[in-house]
């Protein structure tokens, strides 16, 4: 039993995984900050957690998939489906309007950020993070004034 425990502890390589998780967290933080600042339904806690969970699922399955592209595709497919489910929970239909679509889309993008980091595609993760943040910040200027007052998206 002691030999098995020593073998498990000896195989820990936590620094690369911790680095990736921190990177995913840092890339998702500005998006969460923007949503929190705008008093949206998901914010500072939700977005970084989505990114690190997506990254963590990719990293946790590395030993199972052993570089098999088909297995990796299945994991990513599951993450995409799961992010769609979480995003669907952020969308509300109220009378004749639909609210929460920007939150749902940004949650989905944040899942993609974490997935990209987990797969080692740091450049794609940075571009996704910047584009998502800029879209949320700059596109509010194009919304009608009455849409900005409701703050439910």
Q: What is the largest CA-CA distance in the chain?
A: 66
Residue 130 has pLDDT above 90, yes or no: yes
d(CA 52, CA 19): 11
Tell me which residue has tokens 């990736």: 20
At 35-60, the pLDDT tens digits run: 888 777 677 888 999 999 999 999 99
Residues 16-20, mean pLDDT to the nearest whole number = 94
d(CA 60, CA 97): 40
d(CA 66, CA 62): 6
d(CA 11, CA 24): 24
Domain ranges for the chain, please list them.
Answer: 14-150
At 74-114, the pLDDT tens digits run: 999 999 998 888 888 777 777 777 778 888 899 999 999 99
CA angle 11, 121, 36 (to 5 degrees): 100
């Amino acid at each position: 039993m002691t030999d098995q425990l020593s073998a498990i502890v000896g195989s820990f390589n936590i620094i690369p995984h911790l680095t990736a998780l921190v990177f995913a967290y840092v890339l998702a933080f500005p998006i969460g900050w923007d949503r929190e600042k705008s008093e949206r339904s998901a914010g500072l806690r939700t977005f970084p957690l989505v990114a690190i969970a997506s990254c963590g699922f990719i990293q946790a399955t590395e030993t199972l998939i052993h570089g098999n592209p088909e297995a990796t595709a299945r994991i990513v497919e599951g993450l995409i489906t799961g992010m769609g489910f979480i995003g669907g929970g952020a969308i509300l239909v109220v009378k004749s309007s639909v609210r929460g679509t920007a939150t749902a889309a940004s949650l989905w993008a944040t899942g993609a950020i974490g997935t990209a980091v987990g797969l080692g595609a740091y450049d794609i993760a940075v571009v996704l993070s910047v584009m998502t943040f800029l879209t949320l910040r700059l596109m509010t200027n194009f919304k009608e004034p009455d849409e900005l007052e409701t703050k439910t998206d």
